[in-house]
Amino acid sequence: MRRLSRTPPRSFHAAASFSALTTEYRHTPVLLAEVLQHLSPQPGDTIVDCTLGGAGHSVAIAKAIAPTGTLVGIDRDAAALTAAQDTLRLGQQATRTVLIQGDFRDLDRLLAESMVPYANGFLFDLGVSSYQLDAGERGFSYRADAPLDMRMDPTAGGISAADVVQTYQESDLARVIREYGEERWASRIAAFIVAARARRPISTTTELVDIIKSAVPAAARKGGPHPARRTFQALRIEVNQELTALEAALRSAIRWLTPGGRVVVIAYHSLEDRIAKQVFAELARTCTCPPDLPKCVCGVVPVVRVLTRKAVVPTPAEIERNPRARSAKLRAAQKL
């Protein structure tokens, strides 16, 4: 964990070394009005944005909690934090700001080390930002030729996408591509990857895109999304272990909430959405004792109230303005 600042300084030199730092950070916040409605930030609140990204949501949250509130912004990507720092400063909010580089899977430790005593709200806007996709050299995009990396925090070590395609057994590759990419051609793509890497190492996005294109039958490629989109998404989720972090982080977040505090999750993948839905449903369970028992014996006490019976999705107008919103699903819960 690297804590970047307590208040936005005049000049800030990040420890990050990406050339991506020079790329302009643009990310249109998804479901912004709906996030504010369900998070309901009030002046003086402490709100933790666990996926700060370009601070699109955080700028609006900072306005709502000013002048005495505290905004805590977490991101595992140092380049995102650097850009967000500038955006928040330009937003000119008199809000106290704490920016933390780290993985939200370590939420308890990150908040304790930053001496955040409690929170009135948490936001998780999952996945990858437009900036990360557009910074071609990071290897997230199938449209730019780059080393196959895809790590959100390359400084933390860990495996890259090249390591996955080079070393995973065919069955594991197929599982990752099928489950995380929801790709019907997963087995074929995995078989083609294994055959290609036996000839020579696969180390760039372009090499992988060509292999995927040869694996997906021409008829299936017509009219749909780019044939590599689902496989790239799957590799990104595997490399960054995105699904394993979420459940633990949500449970931690709910522990740090004050009564009445809220947690909002925007998911872009059905498995992520299912995790949010299940954690909220489990923590919202009420006493299951038969009504004629004089007192409760099951001991189940609800911890939260679910605020979204069905997931909130973007309007067609928002999807037209911002196509990256198309798969978004928002769920929210309130601590009792």
By CB atoms closer than 10 A (0-12, 13-18, 19+), residue 327 is middle
Q: Compute the least distance from the CB of residue 156 to ligand SAM, in Å.
A: 10
For ligand SAM, the closer of residues 127 and 139 by Cβ is 127
Q: Interface with ligand SAM includes 56 (CB under 6 A)?
A: yes
Q: Which stretch binds ligand SAM (CB under 6 A): 100-108, 195-203, 231-239, 297-305?
A: 100-108
Indicate whether 54 belongs to the interface with ligand SAM (CB under 6 A): yes
Give least dist CB 248 to ligand SAM, A: 10
Q: Is 104 in the site for ligand SAM (CB under 6 A)?
A: yes
Q: Is 38 in the site for ligand SAM (CB under 6 A)?
A: no
Question: Least distance to ligand SAM from the beta carbon of 293, Å?
Answer: 43
The interface region with ligand SAM, picked from 47-55, 269-277, 304-312, 313-321 by CB under 6 A, is 47-55
21: left (phi over 0), alpha (psi -120 to 50) or beta: alpha
**Closer residue to ligand SAM (CB): 61 or 215:** 61
The count of chain residues that interact with ligand SAM, using the rule CB under 6 A, is 22
Q: Which of 224, 234, 226, 225 is nearest to 209 (CA)?
A: 226
Rule CB under 6 A: say whether 245 interacts with ligand SAM: yes
For residues 286 and 307, give the distance between their C-alpha atoms in angstroms, rounded to a whole number: 15
Does position 125 bind ligand SAM by CB under 6 A? yes
Euclidean distance between CA atoms 66 and 177, whole angstroms:
44
DSSP state of 28: P
On the 0-12 / 13-18 / 19+ scale of CB atoms within 10 A, 45 is buried
Give the shortest CB-105-to-ligand SAM separation in angstroms: 6
Distance between CA atoms of 71 and 60, rounded to whole angstroms? 11
Shortest CB 284 distance to ligand SAM, Å: 24
In the DSSP assignment, the letter for residue 76 is S
- Minimum separation from the CB atom of position 211 to ligand SAM (A): 27
Q: If we measure between CA atoms, which residue out of 54, 70, 181 comes closest to residue 125?
A: 54
Task: Give the neighbor-by-neighbor strand order of the sheet with 46-49.
Answer: 2-5, 96-101, 70-75, 46-49, 119-125, 257-267, 329-335, 304-306
User: Residue numbers of the site for ligand SAM (CB under 6 A)?
Assistant: 27, 29, 51, 53-57, 74-77, 80, 103-105, 125, 127, 129, 152, 242, 245
